[in-house]
Amino acid sequence: MSLSLVTAPRGLPVDLDEVKAHLRVTGFAEDELIERLMKTATQRLDGPYGKIGRCLLTQTWAYTTDRVSREIEIPLAPVSAVSSITGLIPADYTVHRLRDLDGTVIRPASTGSWYLNHAGERVVTFVAGFGEAPDDVPEPIRTAITMHVAHLYEHRESVTASAISLSETPQAYEDLIAPYRKWSF
């Protein structure tokens, strides 16, 4: 099993102006730094290696599997479309649970077993993400990204010394992303 990015998302789920407003930054001198921090905070959550294991903005992936089974489970969510499956035509399969955070599955279209007739490696090309625009991404995720950027902006070193005791804000970053995390047992 492997995943490879075919088409990256266009843009980020948060906007520079909204992040600067949150940071209370009015000038342009630190825009480059803030944009890098926005990318870092987004990558921390987005895609198969992100903390929530989901695609945020629309992106295209290729999933390669040689596992023989009655169905193919797409390892990322939310999936908005299955573009193609090597060796199969759309009449050979049906796609279930599109846009579902619990995941999308592909099954044979008829009672026949596709894995007996079409054994071997499969490459499933699919589109995943909440949508094209930042506003399509759930607000708690966007807020978590903004909070992460603010933290990175204020704490630019890996270790800081302070006489002030800090505590986490209730219902902060982890609480915001928890409902969107992909869990596996």
CATH number for the domain that contains residue 153: 1.10.3230.30
Predicted pLDDT at 181: 87
Residue 175 included in any domain: yes
Check pLDDT > 70 for residue 166.
no
User: Do 65 and 115 belong together in one domain?
Assistant: yes
Residue 88 included in any domain: yes
Check pLDDT > 60 for residue 129.
yes
Predicted pLDDT at 172: 75
Residue 3 included in any domain: no
Q: What is the mean pLDDT of residues 96-107?
A: 94
Q: What is the mean pLDDT of residues 113-142?
A: 86
User: Do 73 and 100 belong together in one domain?
Assistant: yes
Confidence bin at 60 (pLDDT 50/70/90): very high
User: Do 47 and 65 belong together in one domain?
Assistant: no
How does DSSP classify residue 14? Answer: S
CA–CA distance, 174 with 114 (Å, rounded to integer): 41
**2-7 sheet: strands from edge to edge:** 2-7, 59-65, 122-128, 79-85
Tell me the torsion sign for CA atoms 117, 121, 125, 130.
Answer: positive
Check pLDDT > 90 for residue 125.
yes
Q: What is the mean pLDDT of residues 81-106?
A: 92
Residue 104 included in any domain: yes
Predicted pLDDT at 171: 55
User: Do 71 and 111 belong together in one domain?
Assistant: yes
Token look-up 């596992």 returns 67
Q: What is the mean pLDDT of residues 135-147?
A: 96
The per-residue pLDDT of the chain, averaged, comes to: 88
Residue closest to 18 by CA, chosen among 140, 146, 130 = 146
User: Do 170 and 141 belong together in one domain?
Assistant: yes
Check pLDDT > 80 for residue 34.
yes
Predicted pLDDT at 164: 64
User: Do 37 and 71 belong together in one domain?
Assistant: no
Under a CB-based contact definition with an 8 Å cutoff, are residues 64 and 123 in contact?
yes
Domain that holds residue 69: 59-128
CA–CA distance, 66 with 75 (Å, rounded to integer): 14
Out of 110, 128, 146, a domain closes at: 128
With a CB cutoff of 8 Å and minimum separation 6, the contacts of 42 are 12, 13, 14, 56, 145
Predicted pLDDT at 167: 56
User: Do 119 and 179 belong together in one domain?
Assistant: no
Q: What is the mean pLDDT of residues 48-66?
A: 95
User: Do 143 and 174 belong together in one domain?
Assistant: yes
Question: H-helix or E-strand containing 140?
Answer: helix 139-154
Q: What is the mean pLDDT of residues 35-41?
A: 96
CA–CA distance, 13 with 9 (Å, rounded to integer): 9
Predicted pLDDT at 122: 87
How does DSSP classify residue 131? Answer: B
Mean pLDDT is lowest, of 47-51, 113-117, 144-148, for 113-117
Tokens describing residue 126:
């699919």
pTM, rounded to two decimals: 0.85
User: Do 118 and 153 belong together in one domain?
Assistant: no
Check pLDDT > 90 for residue 97.
yes
**Counted domains in the chain:** 2
Residue 24 included in any domain: yes
